[in-house]
Amino acid sequence: MSRTVYVNGEYLPEGEAKVSIFDRGFLFADGVYEVTSVLDGKLIDFAGHAKRLARSLGELDMRNPISTDDLLEVHRELVRTNDITDGVIYLQITRGAASDRDFAFPADDVEPTIVLFTQSKPGLADSPTAKVGIKVISIADERWGRRDIKTVQLLYPSMGKMMAMAAGCDDAWMIEDGAVTEGTSNNAYIVKGDTIITRHLGHEILHGITRAAVLRFAREAQMKVEERPFTIDEAKAADEAFTTSASAFVMPVVELDGAVIGTGKPGPIATRLREIYLEESRKVAI
Ligand code: PMP
């Protein structure tokens, strides 16, 4: 069935939606994006995603073509027209299409391009994978230095995912200066004893919306949290490991570079955090 998508102010059948070949998202990866989950037809942490979108645009001196209220309405309209119960909404804003290819940013009168589309994922929160956990390899982090800006330059993460799959695993954790930065499309955590350890915020990682919520819930539940870099050796010797992202929530990691983590099954802290995150997020979904 053809989806209805949103492009530059219009709702269109997916086959009729078009973007210029001169679009800077296409030519220069000059664009930012967000992915917001939908559970039971409601948006999870829309406010967090809208806030990070504004920050990403600001860091790149890119104009925001839509107000937060209108953006919410577009999300809701797409959920309605595409009859999404569980899934995600992808949003991308680029610096638009100048009349030619030029490294210099175009003049202010060039309108940014905005595209949103839905991806239906029935039963998203009941993922069978979360019950067994995922296997991860480590790879060098060869991305650019401003990973805190959620740009559409996803070639290296995409290659990382392929490297993981070629190794019979599910994902890759990236290493820089001896420490784990994050997963290809998620934030990375280990648990040692009763302490949850995850890299501190900075330019080196994306400031995950799920990360912020999970750490808040962990602290509210009196769990100990340390925000600092950790090594792969530390991770291999950890009691548990997991990742967080808007579309996979809290995902246990049970193997790292062939080493079994903890018991080789999703650990109690990751499992509990997943439950709390889903329960609390559903309560305040809009
Ligand atoms: N790090 C990277 C590199 C990501 O691509 C993502 C997901 N977009 C995340 C972390 C997790 O962020 P969020 O919880 O906001 O989805």
Whether 30 contacts 104, CB under 8 Å: no
> Residue 257, by phi and psi: left (phi above 0), alpha (psi -120 to 50) or beta?
left
187 lines ligand 1 (CB under 6 A): yes
Indicate if 150 belongs to the active site: yes
CB atoms within 10 A of CB 194: 10
Judge if 51 and 164 occupy the same domain.
Answer: no
Report the pLDDT value the prediction gives residue 246, as an integer from 0 to 100: 97
Query: What is the SS3 assignment for 79?
Result: helix
Report the pLDDT value the prediction gives residue 111, as an integer from 0 to 100: 97
Q: Which domain holds residue 144?
A: 128-284
Give alpha helix (H) positions in the chain: 24-28, 46-59, 68-81, 128-132, 155-166, 209-220, 232-236, 268-283
Q: Average pLDDT of 252-268?
A: 98
Point out the domain boundary residue: 122, 153, 168.
122
Ligand 1 pocket: which of 245, 247, 250, 274 to mutate (most atoms <8 Å of CB)?
A: 245
Q: Does 85 have pLDDT greater than 80?
A: yes
Judge if 164 and 46 occupy the same domain.
Answer: no
Judge if 179 and 254 occupy the same domain.
Answer: yes
Q: Does 175 have pLDDT greater than 80?
A: yes
246 lines ligand 1 (CB under 6 A): yes
Point out the domain boundary residue: 89, 122, 155.
122
Judge if 110 and 143 occupy the same domain.
Answer: no
d(C-alpha 203, C-alpha 147), whole Å: 6
pLDDT, the chain, mean: 97
Going from the Cα of 193 to the center of ligand 1, the distance in angstroms, rounded, reads 26
Q: Could you tell me the CATH number of the domain that includes residue 73?
A: 3.30.470.10
Report the pLDDT value the prediction gives residue 114, as an integer from 0 to 100: 98
For 118-142, write each residue's pLDDT tens digit.
Answer: 999 999 999 999 999 999 999 999 9
Backbone angles phi, psi at 206, to 5 degrees: -75, 135
Ligand 1 pocket: which of 187, 189, 242 to mutate (most atoms <8 Å of CB)?
A: 187
Judge if 39 and 152 occupy the same domain.
Answer: no
Q: Indicate the number of domains in the chain.
A: 2
Judge if 269 and 132 occupy the same domain.
Answer: yes
H or E stretch including 7? strand 4-7
Judge if 117 and 166 occupy the same domain.
Answer: no
Point out the domain boundary residue: 122, 141, 172.
122
Whether 251 contacts 242, CB under 8 Å: yes
d(C-alpha 190, C-alpha 197), whole Å: 5
Whether 24 contacts 30, CB under 8 Å: yes
Report the pLDDT value the prediction gives residue 189, as an integer from 0 to 100: 98
Q: Does 1 have pLDDT greater than 90?
A: no
Judge if 104 and 218 occupy the same domain.
Answer: no
Going from the Cα of 185 to the center of ligand 1, the distance in angstroms, rounded, reads 5
Judge if 242 and 151 occupy the same domain.
Answer: yes
Judge if 246 and 155 occupy the same domain.
Answer: yes
Judge if 184 and 204 occupy the same domain.
Answer: yes
- The torsion angle over the Cα atoms of residues 140, 262, 213 and 272, rounded to 10 degrees, is 160
Total-model pTM: 0.97
Report the pLDDT value the prediction gives residue 202, as an integer from 0 to 100: 98
Whether 170 contacts 253, CB under 8 Å: no
Q: Could you tell me the CATH number of the domain that includes residue 245?
A: 3.20.10.10
Judge if 54 and 164 occupy the same domain.
Answer: no
d(C-alpha 266, C-alpha 162), whole Å: 24
